[in-house]
Chain A
Amino acid sequence: DTAVSQTPKYLVTQMGNDKSIKCEQNLGHDTMYWYKQDSKKFLKIMFSYNNKELIINETVPNRFSPKSPDKAHLNLHINSLELGDSAVYFCASSQSSVTYEQYFGPGTRLTVT
């Protein structure tokens, strides 16, 4: 069983489109995260939810909107996609916002053309 899954794994789309990436964890964890890895492999936190409540919201364009329908899911919606949004997006989860170990999903490679 996959602990943290993301769909899709690859996403190719045109500038201006709106797209969503879904994340699900079956570990029973309370806290979920979105990280962005750019073309130079640099990883940076975007958002975090704890028990469906937003606890981390880094400096991210408001075209990015996370949504957590329940503790097991954290989706990322991106409006008006731009070329600079091309990156790998990782979802992760931890048992709580206190627990130090984070489990990562396989990543979604987003390519904006």
Chain B
Amino acid sequence: AQTVTQSQPEMSVQEAETVTLSCTYDTSESDYYLFWYKQPPSRQMILVIRQEAYKQQNATENRFSVNFQKAAKSFSLKISDSQLGDAAMYFCAYRGGWSGTASKLTFGTGTRLQVTL
């Protein structure tokens, strides 16, 4: 079974600074997808960024980028120029590459990010 590990329960960053959230995963599959979801206090789950395992290039979405190391099974999220609105729980998630039962998302335990002035 696939597992996702987020070893940082809490992180703090100053406004305008850069922070990196860590995620490692375990899988025997070669085809899969990885995601970072943001959950603000409103509890809405918001997709931040996704990475297809077959792509070597790291995904980027505005201030958010990932460092995907397939051999090391590592998938970290970098937030640049942090803003107060970035304060939230961040979840790393894994999805298998096949349909049916593989379509479920397996989540890590989350990292709570605080943004300070």
How many residues of A are counted as interface, with CB atoms below 8 angstroms from the partner's CB atoms? Answer: 28
* A contact residues around B98 at 8 Å (CB): 98
Question: Which A residues, 66 to 113, have Cβ-Cβ distances below 8 Å to chain B?
Answer: 88, 90, 92, 94, 96-98, 100-102, 104, 106-107, 109
Contacts of B42 in A (CB 8 A): 106
Residues of A within 8 A of B45 (CB): 90, 92, 104, 107
Chain A residues within an 8 Å CB radius of B110: 41-42
Q: CA–CA, A97 to B45, complex, Å?
A: 19
A27 within 8 A of B: no
Answer yes or no: B28 CB below 8 A from chain A CBs: no
Q: CB < 8 Å: which of B43, B100, B106 contacts A97?
A: B100
Assess the A104–B44 pair: CB atoms within 8 A.
yes
A42 and B103 CA atoms in complex are apart in Å by 18
Interface members, chain B 52-96 (any A CB < 8 Å): 52, 89, 91, 95
Check: A15 CB closer than 8 A to any chain B CB.
Answer: no
Contact call B103/A41, Cβ cutoff below 8 A: no
Which residue of A56, A88, A107 is within 8 Å of B104 (Cβ)? A56
Partner of B100, one of A55, A90, A104, A109: A55
Which B residues touch A96, using CB under 8 A? 99
Interface residues of A (CB under 8 A from B): 31, 33, 35, 40-45, 48, 50, 55-56, 58, 88, 90, 92, 94, 96-98, 100-102, 104, 106-107, 109
